[in-house]
Amino acid sequence: MYDGAMRVLLACSILAACGGKPAPQPPKAPNNELIVGSFERHPPDGTQVLAFRGDGSFELFHDRAAQDKGDAASSGHFTIEADQLTFTNEKGLCADGPAKTATYKVVVSKLGIHFTKAGDDGCDRRATIDGQTWHRFK
């Protein structure tokens, strides 16, 4: 009798755990809000930091120490519409000629940002982000 009651209790517990609907998830914030912050790539891909600001500007730093000093390797403006991020470099790396602007498809979350080239990128240094995920730390 005890063995049968335990089986029924176990079955009821499993059904209760599996049968409930998951709690509704809040909607994801729009990418133009989620992108604001600092993201870094991890070795072996590099140690760079990419900081996006709410005013549409960005800065690229060699590492966190350079960010703390305000020593940007590159800076400019960005626009993001749906999942398309367009960089326009104005100072430093990639700021000259046709390499100045590039567009990437992005997946942005609270944890990080994943980049996929959406066209040609005339700047080989910037193009290294293609296929990479950078991790949010601020």
Q: Which residue has the tokens 């992108």?
A: 35
* CA R_g for the chain: 22
**pTM of the predicted model as reported, rounded to 2 decimal places:** 0.78
Mean pLDDT across the chain, nearest whole number?
Answer: 87
Tell me phi and psi for residue 136, to 5 degrees. Answer: -70, 140
6-23 confidence digits (pLDDT tens)? 676 666 666 566 666 667
Q: Where are the domains of the chain?
A: 26-136
* Domain 26-136 architecture: Beta Barrel (2.40)
